[in-house]
Amino acid sequence: MTETKTKKQANTLLQSALQSQAHQDSLGAAQDYRHVLELDPKNKQAWYGLGLIEQQNGRTADARAAYEKALETDPKFMSALYSEAFLLRSSDPDRAIELLKRAVAADPKSTTIQLQLGNLLAGQHRKGEAEDVFRHAVAVDHRILPQVPEEFRVSVSR
């Protein structure tokens, strides 16, 4: 099969997987994602979609492996960075912090990710780092100040 034809087939399967997932058919979506990966083993969208399905089904180790495969293909893939960090926030907070820091570095204007990072740092008793992250987030968009934990609001609003 030619490379162009393979790529086209992979894209068609990817669209089918996304449609199946949108219609709550995770079994069909997972099957299509796996077919995409047979054709294109470095397809970050397919790895990410598979990760979401595994996470929804409580298979966290498989979800994490799929997110890692997506990140091997694109280390700045925001969706995979965020989803894996969310998955690990309780079980491996240090890894979750590392992933969120990478996400912030990839998109320094994303206040949502900065708030998540700041909250995780605060929860790990890393108050100085949390304050710095909250300060940066508020500098990007002052309207998020009410979302910053109360103990940090005064110091980050200066």
Domains of the chain in start order, with CATH, are: 1-74 (1.25.40.10), 76-158 (1.25.40.10)
* pTM of structure: 0.86
The predicted structure's pLDDT at residue 1: 53
Per-residue pLDDT averaged across 86-97, rounded?
A: 95
Average pLDDT, the chain: 94
If we measure between CA atoms, which residue out of 16, 55, 57 comes closest to residue 34?
16
Confidence tier at 3 by pLDDT (50, 70, 90) = confident
| Least confident span in 5-14, 54-63, 130-139 | 5-14
Residue 93, amino acid: P
* DSSP letters spanning 107-127: -TT-HHHHHHHHHHHHHTT-H
Compute the distance between CA of residue 32 and CA of residue 46 in angstroms, rounded to an integer: 9
Per-residue pLDDT averaged across 11-32, rounded?
A: 93
